[in-house]
């Protein structure tokens, strides 16, 4: 409808795509980027007194998208509000026509989990069945749902610095997923028994040590998406095979950033981008002993691809409100 934007609430966005729908959408986005069929993604950070704003922009095929997310990690405790929230504006990439504005929360949560699943599909050992999950919030739930679709998980150790949160998460998600999920009373011990580790916390200090990681582990490092965040020991990053979602972005704000800043590795030692693994341009895992880290900083490619899929599904189902800057609704 020319001249009208589609407005979508969080509930509407959540209803349009299932978790499983995000995985092929995100995989295709990384593939297209590796094949040169994307606009160059851009990232900016703006610090605020009690948090920060992320601005991510990029384009795929006929779509351009920009996401503005605020990350304020005291929100839930202080205001009963989401810690991360924002908006995505979707436009046509060929003429700039605004197409849709939508709540970003569900897209951010689900596309992040989907990226870890795609990376695990290509980089984890195929029989990986035990996972240590560090982070028991919304993203932890998303990571488990996504990983189950690509790995034969049978047991999960759930870790959080807060014992009550670990216990609540383990009980609730065990019932929800019909999967054995237990609190990780000792993180080192849990990691020693695991094939896969996912870190998805807002930590600003590393808590996963190099000496705790067994041979062959796949690690999806999700939490470090700004320069001051860090979950992994920099020595661990420097010693592993590291695959970035976007090389330049991970060097600027991801776990790789800290390893380089400490002089433990160089930018040239980043093994590949995920899209290069997907397309076969660069090999992924070559043996069962190597430790592989996916440095997942979260990209505009994922946001645009998911927002476009949501927009197309909403249009086909007549979901949302069409609004014009003139104030007219359709």
Which one, of 102, 31, 33, 30, lies nearest residue 65 by Cα? 102
Among 67, 121, 229, 281, the one annotated catalytic: 67
Compute and round to an integer the Cα radius of gyration of the chain: 19
Q: 201 by DSSP, 3-state: which?
A: coil
Total H helices, total E strands in the chain: 12, 15
Other CB atoms within 10 A of residue 46 CB: 11
The token pair that represents 292 in the structure block: 């592989």
**Which residue has 């969080």 as its token pair?**
10
How many angstroms separate the CA atoms of 179 and 281, rounded?
A: 36
Other CB atoms within 10 A of residue 112 CB: 27
Spatial CB neighbours of 231, under 8 Å, sequence gap ≥ 6: 134, 199, 201, 203, 206, 207, 208, 221, 223, 224, 255
- Do 300 and 67 touch, CB atoms closer than 8 A? yes
The token pair that represents 152 in the structure block: 């034969």
The token pair that represents 299 in the structure block: 């990209």
Point out which residues pair with 88 in neighbouring strands. Answer: 67, 102
What is the distance in angstroms between the CA of the first residue and the CA of the last residue of the chain?
9
**Residue 171 Cα distances to 25, 141, 142, 176, 299, angstroms:** 31, 12, 16, 9, 32
For residue 241, indicate whether it is catalytic. no
- Do 132 and 214 touch, CB atoms closer than 8 A? no
The token pair that represents 269 in the structure block: 């030692």
- Active site residue ranges: 67
């Amino acid at each position: 409808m020319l001249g009208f934007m589609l407005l979508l609430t969080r509930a509407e966005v959540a209803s349009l795509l299932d978790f499983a729908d995000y995985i092929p959408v995100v995989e295709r986005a990384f593939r297209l980027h590796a094949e040169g069929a994307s606009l160059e993604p851009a990232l900016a950070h703006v610090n605020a007194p009690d948090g920060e704003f992320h601005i991510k922009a990029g384009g795929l095929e006929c779509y351009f998208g920009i996401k503005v997310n605020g990350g304020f990690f005291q929100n839930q405790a202080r205001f009963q509000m989401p810690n991360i929230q924002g908006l995505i504006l979707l436009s046509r990439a060929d003429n700039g026509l605004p197409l849709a504005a939508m709540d970003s929360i569900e897209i951010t949560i689900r596309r992040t989990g989907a990226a870890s699943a795609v990376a695990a599909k290509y980089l984890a050992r195929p029989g990986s069945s035990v996972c240590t999950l560090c982070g028991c919030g919304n993203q932890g739930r998303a990571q488990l749902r996504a990983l189950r679709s690509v790995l034969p998980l049978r047991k999960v150790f759930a870790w959080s610095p807060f014992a009550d949160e670990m216990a609540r998460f383990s009980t609730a998600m065990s019932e929800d997923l019909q999967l054995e999920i237990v609190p990780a009373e000792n993180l080192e011990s849990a990691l020693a028994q695991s094939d896969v580790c996912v870190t998805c916390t807002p930590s600003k200090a590393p808590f996963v040590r190099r000496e705790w990681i067994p041979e062959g582990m796949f690690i999806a490092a999700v939490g470090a998406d700004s320069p001051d965040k860090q979950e992994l020991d920099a020595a661990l990053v420097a010693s592993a095979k590291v695959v970035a979602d976007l090389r330049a972005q991970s060097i600027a704000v991801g776990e790789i950033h800290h390893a380089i800043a400490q002089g433990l590795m160089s930018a040239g030692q980043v093994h590949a981008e995920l899209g290069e693994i997907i397309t076969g341009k660069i090999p992924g895992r070559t043996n069962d002993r190597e430790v592989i880290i996916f440095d997942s900083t979260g990209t505009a490619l994922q946001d645009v691809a998911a927002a476009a899929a949501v927009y197309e599904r909403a249009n086909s189902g007549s979901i949302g409100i069409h609004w014009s800057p003139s104030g007219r609704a359709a």
